[in-house]
Chain A
Amino acid sequence: MDDLTGTETTRTPGLRDWLVARIAEHLRMSPADVAADVPLSTYGLDSVYALTVAADIEDRLGVTVDPTVLWDNPTVDALCRAVDEAVAGAAAR
C-alpha cells in the first residue's frame, strides 16, 4: 500500500512506493532499507544516474520535473514533496 514506508502522505497514489522501489532496485537494496530522510547519495546513488530519474517520473506521471529534481531534493521525503508539488501545479493549470 501507499506510504507504508514513509512519514507523509502524497497526493499521487502509489508515488512513494514507486519511487522507493525504483531506487531500491537500482541500488540492489530492499525497499524497506531505504530510509525516507537519508540523502540517497549515502546509499551510493550517483549523480549522473540521479539525472535520469526525472525522465522516469515524467513518463510515469506525465508531469515535467527538472532533471536535477533529485539533486535538489536528495531524500525520498523531499523528492515526494517536490513531485507532489509538480503534480498539483500541473493539475491547477
Chain B
Amino acid sequence: MTTAHVTAAAPAPASLPARLDALAAVLGDADDPANPLGDRAVLDADERGEMLTAGEEALHAFGLNAEFVPAYLGGRLTRLDHLVDVMRAVYRRDPCLGLGYGASSFIAGVNVWTAGDDTQRRAAAALLGAGGRIAVAYHELAHGNDMTRTEFTALPAGGRLLLDGRKEVITNVRRADALVLFARTSTAPGSRSHSQLYAEKTDLAADRTAYLPRYRTTGMRGVQLGGVRFDACPLPAGSVLGAPGRGLETALRSFQITRTTLVSMSAGIVDSALETTLRHVRARRLYGRTAADLPHVRSVVTGVFSDLLAADCFATVGTRALHLLPAETAIHAQAVKFFVSQALLDAMNRLSGVLGAAFYLREGPAARFQKLLRDIQPVGFGHAARAACQVSLLPQLPLLARRAWREGHAAPSALFAPGEELPPLDFGALALSAAGRESLGTSLAAGLAAMPDGQGPAYRLLRRYGEHFVRELTRLGEDCAALDPAELSVTASPYAYDLTSRYVGVLVAASCFETWRRARHSGTPFLSDPHWAAAALYRLSTPRGAPPRTLPAPLEDALWERLSERHRTGGGYLLLPRSPHHHPVGTPGRQQ
C-alpha cells in the first residue's frame, strides 16, 4: 500500500486506553436499568428484533467507524490488536452492535484498503468517517462458501458494467450507504473471473435495484439481514476494486485480516458470559453453600477460563502475525478462525451447563446469557465455515512437511508479546499462499530447548506437554509427507481433515508456550506464571473427540484463584487483564 501522499495530513489517533475509556463512558453501566445502553435496553431491543438505536447513536458519537479506517486516510486504524480491543468492548455489551454497527463495515473497508485505488479508498474513508455504513455482499444462498461459483455478474457493456443477479443474507444491505459486491466480471471458468466492486448507493439506479425481504434469525436478532437484486443495473467501469479479475486474490488477502480479527472480537462475548456465570454461581445457594463452592462447578468454570486464555493467546498471536509475518498468515488466519471459533462455542456450551435453568431464562439477572449464546453462533459458520478453513489448510500440509517442518525456523519473539509494539500493517504484504513456510509451529521445539529453569508442578507439566506437542509435530511430518495427493481438497477423508486439527493444536500449543516464555523473560505479571500455559497445553492434549480433561489440582487451584481475582478487580477473563476503568459489563464492587 502506498501511503506517501497522505501521511502528513491526519493527526495521530488517540491512545488505546484513551479510546477504551471514551467508549466505556458512552456505553455506561451495563447493570443500570435506567441506562439506555444497559443490559435491560439491549435485551429489549433483541426481543423486538431491532438494533439498539441508542447504541448506534452512541457508537456514532464515539466515532467507531474511524477505528476501521487506516490512519493515513484519516482514521484511527494503526494496529489490529487495538481494533480488536475496542470491538471486544462493543461485543461484550451487544454482539448485534458489534456486527451490525461495526464489523460488517470493517470487512467491506478491508476489501477497499486492500485492492482499491486512491480515489476509492478516500471515498470509502470519507463515507465511514461521516458515520455511513458499507455493506459487504459476497454471499448467495445458492452457493454458500463455494465462492468461485458466484453467479452475480458485473459484465462490461458499452464502457460500463451491468449488474445482474442477487446477493442474499447480507448485513445492512438496505440501509447501507455503499456496497462492496463480489461479482463475476468474466464468464470464463477459473480463478481470474471475479472482482470486488465498490458502489455508493447514489450510483445505483433505483429502478434497477430491488431489496429482498429481511431474513429473521435465531441470534443476532437485531442485525438487519437482507438481500438485493439487480436487473441490468449500470455501474461506472471504474467501480472495480483493483484490476478486473483479481477478486479471488483480494478476498484471500483481505480475509486473512477479517477472519482473524472477527473471531477474536467475538471473544468479548464469552468474556461477558463468563462474568454473568460467575455472578450467578457466587450468588446461587444450594446445599448450604454457593454453587461456586461445588467442586464440579468450580472445575468447569476454571476449565472454561483456561480454554478462553488459550484461544485468546492464539488469536492474539494470529493478529500480531498479520503485522509481523504477512508472508505466513494465509495459514494462521485459517487456523485461528477454525480453532478459536470452536473454543468459544464450546466455552459457551459448558457455561450454559453450569448456569442450569438460568441460561434458558429470558429474564432475571442472568438473562443476558441466553442472548449471548444465540448471538455467538455465527462465529462458527459466518465469514467462512470452519470446515472450509480446514480444506484451505489441507494442501499446505505436505508442503509444510517438506519445507517448514524440516527447516525448523523460530518465529520472532515479538510475535509472542501481547500488547507490545508492532510494525505498521501492510495490506499489500499479505501473501496469497504461505507455500508451506510457517514458523509458529516449529517455534515450540526451539522454545522448549531454551526453556528457562523452574520448579513446581506447573513448570513440570508445561515441559512435559511441550514435549508432547513437539513429538506431535514430528509424527505429523511423517503422516503429512505420506498424504495421498487426492486428499488435498473438499473431497478429502475425515482422516485428512483430522490432520489439520492436529496441526492447529500444535500452533496453539506453540503460541501459549512461547507467550509464557517471552513473558517470563520480560517479567510480565500473570503471563509469566506457568500455570495458565501448563493448563492450556494440558487441556489441548485431550484426545480429539473426548471431553476436555479436568485440570490437575495444582493447576485448577491456581487458575481458580486468578479467575476470582479477575472477578474481584473487573479485569475480565481474556489474556491481558483490562484496566479496571474499562469494565462496561458492570461494577465489580457490587457482587458479594
Interface residues of A (CB under 8 A from B): 22, 25-28, 39, 41-42, 46-52, 54-56, 58-59, 67-68, 71-72, 74
Contacts and interface: CB of A to CB of B under 8 A. Distances in A.
Given A41-B189, A47-B248, A49-B395, A68 B432 contact: yes
Contact of B433 (A26, A42, A46, A51): A51
B392 interface: yes
A42 B189 contact: yes
Interface of B: 148, 188-192, 248-249, 252, 391-392, 395-396, 399, 402-403, 431-433, 435-436, 485-486, 488-491
30 contacts: A22-B485, A25-B485, A26-B488, A39-B188, A39-B189, A41-B190, A41-B191, A46-B490, A47-B191, A47-B248, A48-B252, A48-B391, A48-B489, A50-B191, A51-B435, A52-B396, A52-B433, A52-B435, A52-B436, A55-B399, A55-B436, A59-B403, A67-B431, A67-B432, A67-B435, A71-B190, A71-B192, A74-B190, A74-B191, A74-B192
Contacts of B148: 41, 46-47
Contacts of A71: 190-192, 248
Contacts, number: 72
A2 to B, nearest CB: 21
Nearest to B436: A55
A28 B399 CA distance: 20
Contact of B489 (A49, A55, A59, A67): A49
Contacts of A50: 191
Contacts of A52: 395-396, 399, 433, 435-436, 488
Nearest to A47: B191
B184 to A, nearest CB: 13
Contacts of A25: 485-486
A22 B485 CA distance: 8
| Residue from B248, B249, B436, B485 with most neighbouring chain A CB atoms (10 Å) | B485
Given A26-B486, A49-B488, A55 B189 contact: no
Nearest to B188: A39
Contacts of A47: 148, 190-191, 248
A48 B391 CA distance: 9
Given A25-B485, A52-B396, 18 more contacts: A22-B485, A25-B486, A27-B486, A28-B486, A28-B491, A39-B190, A46-B490, A47-B248, A48-B392, A48-B489, A49-B395, A51-B395, A52-B395, A54-B433, A56-B399, A59-B403, A74-B190, A74-B191
